[in-house]
Amino acid sequence: MEIMIIGCGKVGQTLIQQLSDEGNNITAVDISEDKIRDVSRKYDVMGIVGNGATYMTQLEAGIRSSDLMIAVTAQDELNLLCCLVAKKAGNCQTIARVRNPEYSKEAPYLQEELGLAMVINPEYAAAAEIARVLRFPSAIKIDTFSKGKMELLKFRLPESCILYNYSVKEISTKLHCDVLVCMIERGEEVFIPNGDVCFQAGDLISIIATPANAAVFFKKLKLFTNRTRDAILVGGGQIAFYLSNILTKSGISVKLIEKNRQRCEELSQLLPKVSIIHGDAADKETMLEEGLEKTGAFVALTNLDEENILLSLFARSKMSGKLVTKINRIEFDEIIRQLNLDSIVNPKQLTAEYIIRFVRAMKKSMGSNVETLYSLIKGKVEAAEFLIKEQSAIVGVPLQELEFKENVLIAGILRRGKMLIPRGQDTIEIGDSVVVVSRRLGLHDICDILKQG
């Protein structure tokens, strides 16, 4: 696809990298000559220096031949204007990043009236992700499919857990739990296991199940499953604002620590149900005085990755509750994963996943659409949900008779609102939603998982 990306900040560069890796032709636009030089050097893209909201700049960048224009500058209004110009000049699909809470409330109106394909708010997406993992503290990460009817949950196996030394197939035969293990991370090794693989202490295990079956599974493992009742948030940015709103509406008590007095006063007006604390969380005494040791969850949301990591490591040494750390840079994600920080949230990565999912769905496919997409391990494993639209080579054939490529797994089938854990005799039918976990990145159609005859 021909894709124009206006704005080469952190989100823009993440999109440029990932969409370019997906095989799309990218044109990057930014007013900064340095940023354009940088992305042109790092990635195989064309760069244009100029104001992306002007007709002439978009024309120079090839808007008339573009299939999609994505505006991710630092200004909401500029992003919306870019989309308006693109619709008139090129009649292509448009996506705008909109971060202001006032605009976000009107996202459906803006999308319809301005003809936008998508309005994406990275901060709200990150807040929703955090709220999900706080609902189920045993999980490090929760990805949802089919509007929440299926969930993919990642958790770390403690040494004392009953699952230690069980094989994958014994989850069904001994624990009688209707869940499917779809990925195991063990040190540097990542693999999609077969039924004979045995679990080891410290494994990061990803399962797919309905929310109810996942709760039963964790209860049998005697892992903490109760919903978080209170939380301490550090950093008073937009993610903290959105997250505080979501949590208080769910009945969770929230304390928010922010060192900027003016921002504290603003948040006090915006969040009357939240305890706003003016203080520096880097001062250990402040954290302890606010009840860190007894809190159910700690969420580090400052603008500095290093500060978030240090705060989370300190919190881990003082509390046993849920820990969530916001990380902006993803260059060192493999090192960060080794720090055992519990749940890590990356707004840029979430934004890229939403947009890549849309791009794949735009591409012509044989008989299915990518409905949902998650990067489970960046550059290594992803999970994609396909809606089966029409007859194809995979429809109506028992799974045990199909020849799949290596390192792919049919992880779940949703049929008429009911989730099926796939077995060899099961078939995929038109109308199903099918979740595939794969080490083969960039799947556009479910038939891509089959060996070519």
Q: How far apart are the first and last CA of the chain?
A: 27
Task: Report if residue 377 sits inside a domain.
Answer: yes
Please give the pLDDT value at position 336. 75
Please report, for the domain that includes residue 251, its CATH number.
Answer: 3.40.50.720
CA distance 4 to 349: 19
Q: Are 247 and 341 part of one and the same domain?
A: yes
Q: Are 169 and 279 part of one and the same domain?
A: no
Task: Report if residue 305 sits inside a domain.
Answer: yes
Which among 326, 345, 364 is the end of a domain? 345
Q: Are 293 and 362 part of one and the same domain?
A: no
Q: Over the stretch 434-453, which tens digit does the pLDDT of each residue have? A: 999 998 887 888 898 998 74
**Cβ-based neighbours of 234, under 8 Å, separated by 6 or more:** 256, 257, 258, 281, 298, 299, 300, 301, 302, 308, 311
Please give the pLDDT value at position 224. 64
**Cβ-based neighbours of 374, under 8 Å, separated by 6 or more:** 143, 152, 353, 382, 383, 384
How does DSSP classify residue 451? P
> Above pLDDT 70, what percent of the chain?
97
Q: Are 339 and 360 part of one and the same domain?
A: no
Residue 151's H or E segment, with its range, is strand 150-156
Q: Are 333 and 377 part of one and the same domain?
A: no
Please give the pLDDT value at position 39. 94
Q: Over the stretch 86-101, which tens digit does the pLDDT of each residue have? A: 999 988 999 999 988 8
Q: Are 62 and 115 part of one and the same domain?
A: yes
440 vs 383, residue with greater confidence: 383
Which among 295, 316, 345 is the end of a domain? 345
Least confident piece of the model among 160-174, 216-230, 247-261, 430-444: 216-230
Task: Report if residue 165 sits inside a domain.
Answer: yes
Q: Are 267 and 317 part of one and the same domain?
A: yes
Coil, strand or helix at 403: coil
Q: Is the Cβ–Cβ distance between 2 and 65 less than 8 Å?
A: yes
Q: Which residues does residue 208 pair with via DSSP β-bridges, in sequence order?
A: 152, 180
Question: Mean pLDDT, to the nearest integer, of 261-287?
Answer: 94
Is residue 318's pLDDT more than 90? yes
Is residue 302's pLDDT more than 60? yes
- State the helix-helix crossing angle for 10-21 and 347-362, rounded to 10 degrees: 40
Q: Is the Cβ–Cβ distance between 39 and 63 less than 8 Å?
A: no
| Strand ranges for 378-417 from DSSP E | 381-388, 408-415
Query: Measured between alpha carbons, how far is residue 167 from residues 172, 183, 199, 279, 295 in Å?
Result: 10, 13, 6, 49, 35
**Cβ-based neighbours of 26, under 8 Å, separated by 6 or more:** 3, 4, 5, 16, 19, 20, 43, 45, 46
Q: Over the stretch 176-229, which tens digit does the pLDDT of each residue have? A: 899 999 999 988 889 999 889 999 988 999 999 998 999 889 888 887 666 789
Note if the pTM is more than 0.75. yes
- 401 is written with which tokens? 């008779």
Q: Are 199 and 251 part of one and the same domain?
A: no
Please report how many Cα atoms fall inside a 13 Å half-sphere around the Cα of residue 227, on the Cβ side.
9
Rounded to 5 degrees, what are φ and ψ at 308? -60, -40
Residue with tokens 């090794």: 189
Is residue 365's pLDDT more than 70? no
Please give the pLDDT value at position 371. 84
Q: Over the stretch 75-129, which tens digit does the pLDDT of each residue have? A: 999 999 999 999 999 889 999 999 888 887 788 888 888 889 899 998 999 999 9
The string of DSSP letters for 208-254 reads EE-HHHHHHHHHHTT---SPP-EEEEE--SHHHHHHHHHHHHTT-EE
Q: How many CB atoms lie within 10 A of CB 229?
A: 13
Number of domains making up the chain: 4
Q: Over the stretch 19-78, which tens digit does the pLDDT of each residue have? A: 898 889 999 999 999 999 999 999 989 999 999 999 999 999 999 999 999 999 999 999
Task: Report if residue 239 sits inside a domain.
Answer: yes
CA distance 363 to 55: 26
Q: Are 82 and 151 part of one and the same domain?
A: no
Residue 367 sits at the vertex; the CA angle it makes with 365 and 372, to the nearest 5 degrees, is: 70
Q: Residue 366 — pLDDT band, cuts 50, 70, 90?
A: low
Task: Report if residue 171 sits inside a domain.
Answer: yes
Which among 197, 220, 243 is the end of a domain? 220
Please report, for the domain that includes residue 422, its CATH number.
Answer: 3.30.70.1450
Q: Residue 14 — pLDDT band, cuts 50, 70, 90?
A: confident
Determine the structural domain holding residue 92 and report its residue range. 2-120
Residue 70 sits at the vertex; the CA angle it makes with 68 and 75, to the nearest 5 degrees, is: 155
CA distance 38 to 20: 15
Task: Report if residue 350 sits inside a domain.
Answer: no
Task: Report if residue 170 sits inside a domain.
Answer: yes
Mean pLDDT value across the chain: 90
* Pairing relationship of beta strands 141-145 and 150-156 according to DSSP bridges: antiparallel
Task: Report if residue 427 sits inside a domain.
Answer: yes
Q: Are 115 and 141 part of one and the same domain?
A: no
Question: Mean pLDDT, to the nearest integer, of 224-239?
Answer: 87
Least confident piece of the model among 131-140, 334-343, 403-412: 334-343
CA distance 25 to 18: 11
Question: Mean pLDDT, to the nearest integer, of 253-280?
Answer: 95
Q: Are 383 and 421 part of one and the same domain?
A: yes
C-alpha dihedral (177, 132, 136, 227), degrees to nearest 10: -140
Q: Is the Cβ–Cβ distance between 408 and 449 less than 8 Å?
A: yes
Q: Are 148 and 109 part of one and the same domain?
A: no
Helices (H), 160-199: 170-173
